[in-house]
Chain A
Amino acid sequence: DAKTTQPNSMESNEEEPVHLPCNHSTISGTDYIHWYRQLPSQGPEYVIHGLTSNVNNRMASLAIAEDRKSSTLILHRATLRDAAVYYCILRRFYGGATNKLIFGTGTLLAVQP
């Protein structure tokens, strides 16, 4: 499986934007970029995913580099409830053994009031 690299931790202030980077230099053409987050003692929560174009939803935006070797999750206005571990994961869309989510170490986001 193609690997992702994320910073171990980041800090943000409440109500400020947060940009969480992810490098995936070995991404293949059929890999989707997924972001999940995990709050303490909870299961992961889907945030957003994309393939080539930038994506927006009610939770966040995903900016994907033109060569797809990196991406950035953008939280437009961080709140205390956004403090979590954020995972950037590559997943192949078609079925089979590769169509499963393999978690890396993620980025622990701390939000200061």
Chain B
Amino acid sequence: GAVVSQHPSRVICKSGTSVKIECRSLDFQATTMFWYRQFPKQSLMLMATSNEGSKATYEQGVEKDKFLINHASLTLSTLTVTSAHPEDSSFYICSARTSGRAFGYNEQFFGPGTRLTVL
């Protein structure tokens, strides 16, 4: 299937700092990407949907000023956790949706996730 990468795979930061996570679709173009968050032993929670070249749409309860999303190209979306606090520690997973037919039309593929730990 299509490959989605994330960088970094894990990051540890101090409280109050900002952390940027990159999500790339390696072998296809994605006009739409999604960001999820997963706490231990819980399911994935959709945070936001980003469309290339436009502002992200956030799910209810997700602070858009805290979780900045940029989708500047068809293969790259970034999530910046601003002024991170220990409660932001989580597993962040991105997903990219295919827009062509190479890997199936309108299918979502997921990255490997980024483990964020805020001290």
- A residues sitting closer than 8 Å to B (CB atoms) are 36, 38, 41-46, 49, 87, 93, 95, 97, 99-106
Inter-chain contact A43/B43, CB cutoff 8 Å? no
Q: Is the interface of B mostly helix, strand, loop or mixed?
A: strand
Q: Is the interface of A mostly helix, strand, loop or mixed?
A: loop
Q: Chain B residues with Cβ under 8 A from A36's Cβ?
A: 110
Kindly state the separation between the CA atoms of A97 and B91 in the bound complex, as whole angstroms: 24
Kindly state the separation between the CA atoms of A49 and B113 in the bound complex, as whole angstroms: 23
Choose among A43, A46, A87, A99 the residue that contacts B106 (Cβ–Cβ < 8 A): A99
Distance to closest chain A CB from B33 (angstroms): 11
Q: Would A100 and B112 be within 8 Å (CB), given that A46-B107, A93-B106 are in contact?
A: no
Q: Return the CB mask of B67-106 against A: 1 if under 8 Å, else 0.
A: 0000000000000000000000001010100000000001
- Chain B: interface size category: 20 to 34
Q: Return the CB mask of B32-70 against A: 1 if under 8 Å, else 0.
A: 001010000001111001000000010000000000000
Distance to closest chain B CB from A7 (angstroms): 14
Q: Chain A residues with Cβ under 8 A from B46's Cβ?
A: 100-103
Kindly state the separation between the CA atoms of A102 and B36 in the bound complex, as whole angstroms: 10
Distance to closest chain B CB from A71 (angstroms): 18
